[in-house]
Structure 1
Amino acid sequence: MPTTRPIVTVVRAGRQSYAAGLRIQQELAKQNVSQHSEFRNFLLLLEHDPVYTIGIRTKGYTDEDEKKLRKLGADFHRTDRGGLITFHGPGQLVAYPIINLRQFTPSIRWYVGTLERTVIETCRQMGIPNATTTKDTGIWVDDRKICAIGVHGSRYVTTHGIGLNCSTDLKWFEHIVPCGIEGKGVTSLTEELGRHTSIAEATDVLLDSFRKIFECCVRAETQARVTN
């Protein structure tokens, strides 16, 4: 870990289509860094319109499956992140760290583990002490997934990230096998806490957890960078 804490700038992008979210990530990740300048780290926070996304392991999803999912009123995207199929939509806090791991620890394994610990700490602070990792990807409360994790790294610069269910309509997940894991369910902060839990409430806690677990300085972005 560097002696000085890395700086991470928070970008709050609001509600965006998945395609728009990808464009924002690409803009933030594509930086001209010279020996006289340093990569600027970002934490992109947003909420997606309904969309099913598939990672680099498609596990047999066909064009016909895609048509069926689109008929539900959701978009469909194939991505370069890790992991299998999942859902993003209203009521889900999506966080995409766009960071250069050379300023932290240059290891994707370290990064994924630190991201997992950040979500677990967020859940703990929210009042869910038993959120944890398992042999399956993501963060779980017993046998119910509360947060999907799928990341991508290129030259130690990360994209994609997490989708934490806050007040998500869990019926969207009934049409897929979330992340390709059979026989397990999906949950949300609202479901576990027994009260409506907004993205705004979860965001405040996530930012505090991210700052502590990643050992960085978190700064607010003063203006929106990209819109639909």
Structure 2
Amino acid sequence: MKVVQLGLRTYQPVFAAMQEFTALRTADTEDELWVVEHPPVFTQGMAGKPEHILVHDDIEVVQIDRGGQVTYHGPGQLVVYTLIDFKRRHITVRELVSRLENSIIATLADYGITAVNDPKRPGVYVNEQKIASLGLRIKQGAVYHGLALNVNMDLTPFTHINPCGYAGLHMTQIADFVKPCPELADVAERLTGYLTLELNAPPPERKSTQKVVL
């Protein structure tokens, strides 16, 4: 699995590049993880409702094709786009989401932060506050979009929306728990390492439904 470091990039060109990569990939295309930061931007998923944007300011709102509602990206947030072949991994969507969440939870544990997932809503939480968001699109058997982990950023824009469609949801970040906060590059190295392990793991064994005749 190839890890691509993009640095700080405007959202829309990266979004277009993800779509192009997915459209052109073949059965032999190597999977990639794109590591990136974005300048301030709100992204609105396909099911997004305008009323979840509470404050209209100078931050651009971009309509995109992942699932979910509205979220915020900005400097100091680690974004990893998971450009992977879904079909050849023989896992369910729920298993894929769990592997992404487990990678984030393991990364946070390295910094002494206890985090959990929530079966009722995607993402990773610390003390009921959301520290990482997930949003995926599966097209032609391949996955794009991915995850966003709050590291050391201005969280104020999250108060201008209902994050992921949940009114009153509080956001948090690594900097709230670890002093001094680790560098984003360090967090990225740990997270992509865990993602590579999780995503390359074999599919779970399925219980046979075949009846045995005695």
Bin for the TM-score computed over the shorter chain: 0.7 to 0.9
Moved more, 112-121 or 158-167: 112-121
Measure the CA separation in 1 of the matches of 2:49 and 2:25. 36
Aligned partner of 2:30 in structure 1 is 40
CA-based RMSD of the aligned residues comes to 1.9
Count of paired positions: 200
- Report the TM-score when normalising by structure 2: 0.86
Aligned partner of 2:208 in structure 1 is none
Equivalent residue for 2:134, pick from 130, 149, 164: 149
* Cα 1:60–1:23 shift into 2, 3 Å: closer
Aligned partner of 2:206 in structure 1 is none
- The CA deviation at 1:201 is 1.4
- The CA deviation at 1:83 is 1.4
- The CA deviation at 1:186 is 0.4
Equivalent residue of 1:172, what SS? Answer: helix
Aligned partner of 1:78 in structure 2 is 63
- Report the TM-score when normalising by structure 1: 0.81
Aligned partner of 1:56 in structure 2 is 46
- The CA deviation at 1:49 is 0.9
Measure the CA separation in 1 of the matches of 2:153 and 2:182. 10
Is the CA contact (8 Å cut-off) linking 2:33 and 2:83 kept in structure 1? Answer: yes
Equivalent residue of 1:97, what SS? Answer: strand
- The CA deviation at 1:126 is 2.3
Measure the CA separation in 1 of the matches of 2:183 and 2:68. 26
- The CA deviation at 1:106 is 4.1
- The CA deviation at 1:182 is 2.3
Equivalent residue of 1:124, what SS? Answer: helix
Q: Which amino acid aligns with 1:26?
A: Q
Moved more, 16-25 or 192-201: 192-201
Q: Which amino acid aligns with 1:16?
A: R
Query: Which 5+ residue runs of structure 1 have no aligned equivalent?
Result: 1-7, 217-228
Measure the CA separation in 1 of the matches of 2:141 and 2:92. 8
Equivalent residue of 2:191, what SS? Answer: helix
Query: Which 5+ residue runs of structure 2 have no aligned equivalent?
Result: 202-214
Aligned partner of 2:116 in structure 1 is 132
* Cα 1:32–1:91 shift into 2, 3 Å: closer
2:161 is the alignment partner of 1:176 = yes
